[in-house]
Chain A
Amino acid sequence: MIDQSTEHHNEHVYLDYNATTPVSEIVRKHVMESLENWGNPSSIHWYGRGPKNLLRDSRARVGHMIGAESPLEVVFTSGGSESNSLAVVGTFEAMTRNQNPRNIYIRSAVEHPSVIKAFNSIEEKGAVVKVIPVSRTGEIDLVRYRELLTPEVALVSVMFANNETGAIFPIKKMSKLAHDEGALFHTDSVQGLGKVPLKVEHLGVDLASFSAHKFYALKGCGVLYVKRGTILEPQIYGGGQERGRRGGTENLMGIVSLAITDGLLKHSDEYCGKVLSLRIYLEEKVLKDIPNVEVIAKDAKRLPNTSCFILDRVSGETLLMNLDLKGFSVSTGSACSSGNPEPSAALLAMGIKHSEAQSTLRVSLGWLTSKSEIDRFVKTLAQVVTRLRQIDDEAMAEYGI
């Protein structure tokens, strides 16, 4: 179970669960135990057998968690970014090697940088890249998507849910449309795991990316689900691990940490219901207590834990620092670009203005979030926003604006 006690150890309120999550108590315990199995799973001798079995068991549990038909469809990687790179570049290279005439690659406009940069990379190597627009309301343009789907399309990659706005995309439907044209379908489902019911078989995708640390397990472990029969060129060569699809001695500790979360996943409905009611409470309170605030993609189908606010005339960067000084951890733009306040490319791609994107605040709740934390957070947020707007008013007056 999630360790509820951490909340009391720490005065800081953590509201940035889309960036990462605390390691759950049960994961901690099992990971420590797994360190006894320090042998190399590939070794033939006695030391290899324990780890090998642990790896096999973990693969089965993870396969079951994500709804794979077979554990062999689970490829362990170092995380979501590697999984995304392997899916996109690995597919392109396999297609090229097999002289497959399909050469169009489609992604959405709001993908994670690891997907966008993988697409840029294959584009430089000759792939034709097409982008599906996403509206300000968080809707993906299915009309345009249908137009883009032709018999030349090799792969479509659309995220399950957006990390910044929480908007969920109709993957099952989009995957079906891709398959009707004979294209492969990949979904970056890093933000989906544990937040909404998510089974790859149900979605009908060929490839799906996951990350352990977004769901109360360790950093440094991810999964690429590779549906049986899908061919990928490995991006890391090695000693034949992961059936030749990803070389390198396995990160058994990380893999075990992810497998252990299958126990948490059983409580997902209950916790996510709680998280959703807190999120509804948060948004109602923010919109009531603070003037000139917008919730991005408010009416879209969204993850139950994510709110992305635009707070007019407030710099997200300054707001984040103020909140941090008062003990609240939130994010602006994307956590991957922390320290770099360039506005998020995904938000800009949704037609959100540069100035608006710089005024965004992402709040992402988790299983440990409590109502009293939300109350304290909104109270502080309202005070800080009022003060920053006052300073802005004064500065404007000084410049005679």
Chain B
Amino acid sequence: MEYKGRVLVAMSGGVDSSVAALLLKEQGYDVVGVTMQVWDYSECDIEEGAGTCCSSIDVDDARAVADKLKFPFYVLNCEDKFHAKVITPFLNDYIHGRTPSPCVNCNTYLKFDHLIRKMRELECDYLATGHYAQILKNEAGRNVIVASFDDWKDQTYFLFTIERNIIDRILFPIGHMKKEVVRALAIEHGLINARKKDSTGICFVGNGDYANFVKANVDADLLKPGLIRKYPDGEALGPHSGIHGFTYGQRKGLGLNHHEPLFVLKIDPVTHTVWVGEEKHLYTSEFETAECNLLDQIVPGENIKVRIRHHHPGAGAKLFPTEKGFRVRFDEPQRAITPGQAAVFYRENQLLGGGWIV
């Protein structure tokens, strides 16, 4: 078999990155597996750690897969970096009325920065992950990132911050496959995690209860109570115990008894007011982005596709450069354009970059 070089595989302990390692091994790469330990699980009981990404059970699963496929495996302690670059901004977003997208930061600062450094330090030629994304050559022969074949699983939304100059070093071995095929391969090869449930939600918030996670991890005086007001008349409908419990477009759990359905329209972090109103007010066409990263040229006014959250199918839009990034103008109004989420740009299926919604 032809030697393809050495590759560092970021393994979460889940089935996707395990199959990524399996495929690379079969293709003739010299594989080195790593798991980033990002959270101190020693305090968690077994139940709590199970099923979320990168818990200690997941580390054990990744190690077991590496052992079975006979390649070296290491655990990297990334707790400090994860806390500084992912958890802290996550909490900060909620305190300021934004709905964060922490997986992007994890990719920016941990997977495609810290691990790129580790890749070089461990004399690896490539870094591979189990992301559902593809790297394909464009007409000019340049590597570009393209949405995965399995469009429901596509994770390119979380990859817009990747730096252009490292794309040639990245491998996404399962991006051309459907999830069912990935799982079938894992079963066929007897991988220990073949039937493990997909991780959903955010890895460090065990049961998806973000509000309680925020409450448990920030100073109580940062979580001020406020009022829920109705747009546009400003009528106060009742108190709330902190803006961190709300997100744009939210309908359930507002604690209101109102004759018509109400949705969160805007969160004002200065006055701690949560504005609610009819759903039609959630639709807007224009918004600003900041801290943008571009992976390819975009002509101002060019017709592109923009996604404003994971699982948003994308809608036609045009970009106009601003001082901080781009103003995005959708062809049709979109529902709940949410500060803290990313706006990610595509041409057909090609990832062009993105920025943060402000």
Using a CB–CB cutoff of 8 Å, the interface residues on chain A facing chain B are: 317-318, 321-322, 324-325, 339-342, 387-388, 391, 395
Question: Which residues of chain B come closer than 8 Å to A340, judged between CB atoms?
Answer: 77
Q: Contact at A342–B77, with CB atoms within 8 Å?
A: yes
Additional A-B contacts beyond A325-B122, A341-B77, A391-B120 (5; CB < 8 A): A324-B72, A325-B72, A325-B123, A339-B37, A339-B75
| Chain B residue, CB-CB nearest to A341 | B77
B123 CB to closest chain A CB (Å) equals: 7
Distance, CA A388 to CA B118, complexed state (A): 10
Q: Which residues of A contact B77 (CB under 8 A)?
A: 317, 340-342
B74–A321 CB distance below 8 A:
yes
User: Which 5 pairs between the two chains have the least Cβ-Cβ distance?
Assistant: A341-B77, A339-B75, A318-B121, A321-B74, A391-B120
Q: Complex: how many Å from CA A387 to CA B123? A: 9
Sample 8 A-B pairs with CB under 8 A, ordered by A number.
A321-B72, A322-B121, A322-B122, A322-B123, A324-B72, A325-B32, A342-B77, A391-B120
Distance in angstroms between the alpha carbons of A285 and B123 in the assembled complex:
25
A10 → chain B closest CB, angstroms: 15
Instruction: Kindly state the separation between the CA atoms of A184 and B350 in the bound complex, as whole angstroms.
Output: 74
Q: Is B117 an interface residue (CB 8 A)?
A: yes
B44 at the interface (CB under 8 A from A): no
State the Cβ distance, A300 to closest chain B Cβ, in Å.
30
**A326 to B: closest C-beta gap in Å:** 9
Give Cα A318 to B123, complex, Å. Answer: 11
Q: Across the A-B interface, how many residue pairs have beta carbons closer than 8 Å?
A: 29
Task: Mark out the residues of chain B between 84 and 142 whose CB falls within 8 Å of any chain A CB in the assembled complex.
Answer: 117-118, 120-123
Q: Which residues of B contact A387 (CB under 8 A)?
A: 121, 123
A324, A339, A342, A388: which contacts B121 (Cβ < 8 A)? A388
Q: State A391–B123 Cα separation when bound (angstroms).
A: 11
Q: How far is the CA of A387 from the CA of B124 in the complex (A)?
A: 13
Inter-chain CA distance A344–B123, complex, in Å, is 27
Query: A395 near B76 (CB under 8 angstroms)?
Result: no
Which residue of the partner chain A has the closest CB to B40? A340
In angstroms, Cα B346 to Cα A61, docked, is 76
Closest CB of chain B to A311's CB: distance in Å?
Answer: 14
Residue picked from A324, A339, A391, most chain B C-beta under 10 Å: A339
Per the bound structure, the CA–CA distance linking A340 and B123 in Å amounts to 23
Least Cβ–Cβ distance between B61 and chain A, in angstroms: 15
Q: A325-B32, A391-B121 are in contact. Are A317 and B76 (CB under 8 A)?
A: yes
| A342: nearest chain-B partner, CB-CB | B77
Chain A residues near B74: list those with CB within 8 A: 321, 324
* Chain A residues in 8 Å Cβ range of B122: 318, 321-322, 325
Cα distance, A39 to B79, chains bound together (Å): 49
* A391-B32 contact, Cβ under 8 Å, with A317-B77, A321-B74, A339-B75: no
Once the chains are docked, how many angstroms separate the CA of A339 from the CA of B122? 17
**CA of A317 to CA of B37 in the docked complex: distance in angstroms?**
13
Contacts of A341 in B (CB 8 A): 77
Instruction: Give the distance to chain B from A359, nearest Cβ to Cβ, in Å.
Output: 14
Q: Is B72 within 8 A of A395, CB to CB?
A: no
Q: Which residue from B32, B117, B123 sits with its C-beta under 8 Å from A395?
A: B117
Taking CB as reference atom, which chain A residue is nearest B74?
A321
Inter-subunit contact A391/B72 (CB<8 Å): no
CA distance A322 to B118 in the complex (A): 10
| In the complex, chain B residues whose CB is within 8 Å of the CB of A339 | 37, 75
- Across the interface, which residues of B come within 8 angstroms of A395, CB to CB? 117
Taking A340-B77, A342-B77 as contacts, is the C-beta distance between A318 and B118 under 8 angstroms? yes
Scan B49-75; emit 1 where CB is below 8 A from any A CB, else 0: 000000000000000000000001011
A171–B37 CA distance with the chains assembled, in angstroms: 40
Q: Which residues in B have their C-beta under 8 angstroms from that of A391?
A: 117, 120-121
Cβ contacts under 8 Å, B76 to chain A: 317
**A317 CA to B76 CA in the complex, in Å?**
8
Q: Which residues of A contact B118 (CB under 8 A)?
A: 318
| Closest residue on chain A to residue B56 by CB atoms | A339
Minimal beta-carbon separation of B116 from chain A (angstroms): 10
B1-35 interface code vs A (CB 8 A; 1 in, 0 out): 00000000000000000000000000000001000
Interface centre among A321, A324, A391, A395 (most CB of B within 10 A): A321
Residues of B within 8 A of A324 (CB): 72, 74
CA distance A121 to B90 in the complex (A): 37
Residues of A within 8 A of B37 (CB): 339
Q: Distance in Å from the Cβ of B272 to the closest Cβ of chain A?
A: 38
Q: What is the chain A residue whose CB lies nearest that of B63?
A: A339
Chain B residue nearest to A338 (CB atoms) is: B75
Cα separation A321 to B71 with both chains bound (whole Å): 13
Bound Cα distance A395, B116 (Å): 11
Query: Nearest chain-B residue to A340 (Cβ)?
Result: B77
CB distance from A385 to the nearest CB of B (A): 11
Residues of B within 8 A of A321 (CB): 72, 74, 122
Q: Measured between alpha carbons, how far is A317 from B117 in the docked complex, in Å?
A: 13
CA distance A341 to B77 in the complex (A): 6
Q: What CA separation (Å) do A382 and B118 show in the bound complex?
A: 19
A388 to B32, CA, bound (A): 18
Q: Name the residue of chain A whose CB is nearest to the CB of B124.
A: A325
- Report the bound CA distance from A322 to B74 in whole Å: 11
| Bound CA span A339–B123, Å | 21
Q: How far is the CA of A388 from the CA of B37 in the complex (A)?
A: 22
A13 and B76 alpha carbons, distance in the complex (Å) = 23
Complex Cα distance, B124 from A321, in Å, reads 12
User: What A residues does B32 contact at CB under 8 A?
Assistant: 325
B contact residues around A388 at 8 Å (CB)? 121
- In the bound assembly, the distance between CA atoms of A20 and B151 in angstroms comes to 50
Cα-based distance from A177 to B264 in the complex (angstroms) = 74
CA distance A388 to B121 in the complex (A): 6
Least Cβ–Cβ distance between A345 and chain B, in angstroms: 15
Shortest A388–chain B CB gap in Å is 6
Residue of A nearest to B32 (CB): A325
Cα distance, A153 to B304, chains bound together (Å): 78
In chain B, positions 273-321 with a C-beta closer than 8 Å to chain A are none
